[in-house]
Amino acid sequence: MPATPRTAPVTPGFKGLGLGEALVKAVAALGYEEPTPVQTATMPLMLSGRDLIGQAATGTGKTAAFALPMIQRLTETDPPAAGARRASRRATRGLVLVPTRELAMQVAEAVHKYAHGTGVSVVPLYGGASMLQQIRALERGVDIVVATPGRALDHLRRQSLDLSAVAMLVLDEADEMLDMGFAEDIDAILEATPEARQTALFSATMPPRLRAIAERHLRKPERITVQRETPAAGKLPRVRQVAYIVPRAHKAAALQRVLDIESPTSAIVFCRTRLEVDTLVETLNAHGYRAEALHGGMQQRQREAVMRRFRAASADLLVATDVAARGLNIEQLSHVINYDVPSAPEAYIHRIGRTGRAGREGTAITLAEPREHRQLQALERATRQKIEVATLPTVADLRARRLELTSASLREQILAGELDDVRVVVEQLAGEFGILDVAAAAVKLAHSALTGDGEEQELPAAPPPREGRFDRGPRERPEGRAPRERAEGRAPRRAAPSGPTARLFFGAGREAGIRPADLVGAIANEAGISSRDLGAIEITDRFSLVDVPEEAADHIVETMRKTMLRGKKVLVRRDRAGE
Ligand code: AMP
């Protein structure tokens, strides 16, 4: 890997959006080269104190879009004392509400990183963790609280959380919070904050119920949507588009597996940040790939040297940020690989347009995290082409592919001839062993020399129950409950229906008094489905999931929407976890 200087030029983009020096430095240190579209649209508004509604999915850089302005505004104003009771304590002035504890941890971690050097403090509050520890942190005084609504309300009731000085409030993934039944909690929490606060609401979708909440709590909000217009048909590249769904913890291994199977002749792997580029290059090179880094932190001279090596084929792979790859004139890339889903469809189209040129077939591969399905759909809409969601090649696939490569090499060698000097060894051994055994042994040696030992671990096809501490995991995971994947992996309590099934989501659970019998009874009686045909039922505090025969799913949804469960109408829809 080339030595890359860390003294990257200050990003004019972030500065231009109105961020102060400390934060510009913080984002540069994280390797962000330029603001993403949602950041460009959001930050100036947030900094000006306006309320806003942002329609943006995860992965677009939305956390930084609200967290950076929040930190900046909090450093610009003096903290008021937090009530007479504890006059010396720092008042909580920034509040971020999120649907799940994973998200609470992840957003708090991001805020912590961005706030480096500013003195702004943050604490996450979520269910399933020690209340006492959270109370102690709050007693010390924190500037920004990132909380799930349930736990925020718990603290409010115990008076361990004082929101009377909140100046900025963010509702993140608001549609998910509603789906999880947090609407009333949100109302109650917002009532505990000053009316004069600034409020930002982010959501991937805008259902009417959410609009009503926005109308109640936001003042003349500006609207921001990051999904832009789709480009003209003529500008769309024609490439094979494939996506693999990979948990973050397994991305590097998955990339190597994909590279091994695809054997690209020349490829660019796109990453979001410089740090990601450097780390990935190190990992790849440690595993025998010839990868070179290309990012905005490198000097022009270094970048040119990298490009020379790439063109001369002494490097097989470029690992680059968008900024660094811009303006590069590279002919004939066989593959473009997105290590992450790009933050905007335009970036995706720009990236994949680098392959499939001059009438050759190109391949664009995207590694998406389990919760990024929606963004893949946005890319499909933008390119008006299908993205094939493939399963990661297994170790068996890989072995088969490697054997194919070995046999191709042997075929070439046989055709090339010049085997006289080794033929004598074959003749000798043929006196002792069968000729097939001799050949098999030779192939085995050649195979391991050509492809290594191949001691790959099987990669999980679905996300494991828990990844790294700050990985979000699936958004549907309710706070303090068993992780959703475990629920999905459980042995069904009921016999599974024989044909294809669909999972239905009911927006009421244990807290509403729902029991399995209520669900089975209502579906059987109202929709006329035999209880034998229903599959697993999972009831959590706030919602329930029922597996039903696929062919009856829509009918059940329609019927159940009109049916009362425990005296109440509840939200019913197909579960979106697997989308
Ligand atoms: P989010 O949509 O907030 O979940 O962010 C998705 C990912 O993008 C996170 O890993 C961020 O660290 C990263 N990210 C956010 N802003 C930028 C940026 N301007 N440049 C590169 N990466 C970014």
Mean pLDDT to the nearest integer, 180-194: 92
What's residue 5's pLDDT?
40
pLDDT at 280: 95
What radius of gyration, in Å, describes the C-alpha atoms of the chain?
A: 28
Look up residue 52 and give its two tokens: 């806003």
CA distance 183 to 188: 9
What pLDDT, on a 0 to 100 scale, did the predictor assign at position 235? Answer: 55
Q: Report d(CA 457, CA 460) in Å as an integer.
A: 9
Please write the tens of the pLDDT for every residue from 482-537: 333 323 222 233 545 677 888 999 998 888 888 877 888 788 778 877 777 788 88
Mean pLDDT, rounded, of the chain: 82
* Residue range(s) in the chain whose domain bears CATH number 3.30.70.330: 501-578
Top-confidence range, 182-191, 308-317, 329-338, 344-353: 182-191
CA-to-CA separations, 166 to 91, 186, 441, in angstroms, rounded: 8, 15, 73
Strand partners, 292: 318
What pLDDT, on the 0 to 100 scale, is given for residue 248? 84
Average of pLDDT values for 224-237? 60
CATH architecture of 239-390: 3-Layer(aba) Sandwich (3.40)
Q: What tokens appear for 477 in the block?
A: 């995971």
Q: Longest Cα pair distance anywhere in the chain, in angstroms?
A: 98
| CA separation for the pair 211, 200 (Å, rounded) | 13
Spacing of C-alpha 231 from chain mean position = 25
User: Which residues, 6+ apart, have CB-to-CB distance to 250 below 8 Å?
Assistant: 459, 460
DSSP 421-476: HHHHHHHHHHHHS-HHHHHHHHHHHHHHHHH----PPPPPSS--S--STT----TT
pLDDT tens-place string over residues 20-41: 999 999 999 999 988 988 999 9
CA distance 507 to 486: 20
pTM: 0.62
15-225, CATH topology level: Rossmann fold (3.40.50)
What's the pLDDT tens digit per position in 379-438? 888 888 889 988 887 777 777 777 887 888 888 888 888 888 888 899 999 899 988 999
pLDDT of residue 94: 97
What is the sign, positive or negative, of the torsion defined by CA atoms of 52, 57, 63, 68? negative
Contact, 349 vs 322, CB < 8 A? no
Pick from 36, 66, 277, 372 the residue to mutate for probing ligand 1's pocket: most ligand atoms within 8 Å of its CB.
36
Helix (H, G, I), strand (E, B) or coil at 305: helix
Domain(s) labelled CATH 3.40.50.300 in the chain stretch across 15-225, 239-390
Give the distance (Å) from ligand 1 centre to CA of residue 110.
Answer: 9
Query: 3-class DSSP state for residue 275?
Result: helix
**C-alpha 40 to ligand 1 mean position (Å):** 13
CA of 61 to the centre of ligand 1 (A): 4
Q: Which residues of 554-576 are buried (b: 16+ CB within 10 A; e: fewer)?
A: eebbebbeebebeeeebbbebbe
Q: Residue with the nearest Cα to atom 4 of ligand 1?
A: 59
- Give the confidence band of 255 by pLDDT, cuts at 50, 70, 90: very high
Percent of the chain with pLDDT over 70: 83
Question: 81-82 and 335-338 as β-strands: parallel, antiparallel, unpaired?
Answer: unpaired
**pLDDT for residue 196:** 94
> Hey, which bits of 6-154 come out as E strands?
52-55, 81-82, 86-90, 94-97, 122-125, 144-147
List the residue whose alpha carbon is closest to atom 19 of ligand 1: 35
Output the residue whose Cα is nearest ligand 1's atom 11: 61
Top pLDDT among 203 and 460 is at 203
Q: Which CATH superfamily is domain 501-578 in?
A: RRM (RNA recognition motif) domain (3.30.70.330)
Handedness of CA 574, 575, 577, 578 (dihedral sign): negative
Residue written as tokens 């500008």? 235
SS3 495: coil
